[in-house]
Structure 1
Amino acid sequence: MSDFAAEIDTSGLNCPLPVLKARQALAELTTGQQLHLIATDKGAAKDIPAFCKMTGNALIDSSETDDKLHFIIEKGGI
């Protein structure tokens, strides 16, 4: 088991689905818990940071491995 409260793999899904799936997953978490989001949609590289900024969640880390984008998002207090 990972250190994340939730992990979702949106591989193969295009905008806006990775953001919508992230929103749904974060709604189930409590403040301070972390979500690991995996995406293949290159647009997510801009969409997820913008989503975090607009919603008050913290983008802890983002990286790319094996053509997949990985985001660690910490749920904010909003």
Structure 2
Amino acid sequence: MQQIDVTGLKAPLPILKIRRALSAMAHDDVLMVVADDPDLVMVLPAFCEQAGHRLIMARQNGPCFYFELARGGATQKNTPHAFLQHAS
């Protein structure tokens, strides 16, 4: 699993960096994304669906959001709040 940290970045920079990281990965490889931009919760699922990637997991812990994406082959509708889990 690869990881990318886009904390401190605001749209559209996180998506551009995520797109670049995913393009360098093999099909079905997983990318862990760490972010602190709350807009990414809404934008990332739409990006995944449009680009054909799969949003596996999204959770929030304090001010940070953690996402796991699988490159290629979206098999389900990626909706933002269906995945977002808050850490206890």
TM-score for both structures, normalised by structure 1: 0.90
Residue 53 (structure 2) aligned to one of 57, 64, 69: 57
Q: Does 1:71 align with 2:67?
A: yes
Q: Does 1:20 align with 2:16?
A: yes
Divergent runs of 4+, >4 A: none
| Structure 1: stretches of 5+ with no match in the other structure | none
Residue 37 (structure 1) aligned to one of 9, 33, 37: 33
Give a deviation string over 1:10-53, Cα, whole Å, max 9, x none.
00000011111100000110001000011101100011111001
Instruction: Tell me the percent identity.
Output: 34
Partner of 2:42: 46
CA distance in 2, matches of 1:28, 1:65: 28
Size of the alignment, in residue pairs?
A: 74
Partner amino acid for 1:16? P
**2:28 match: secondary structure:** coil
TM-score for both structures, normalised by structure 2: 0.80
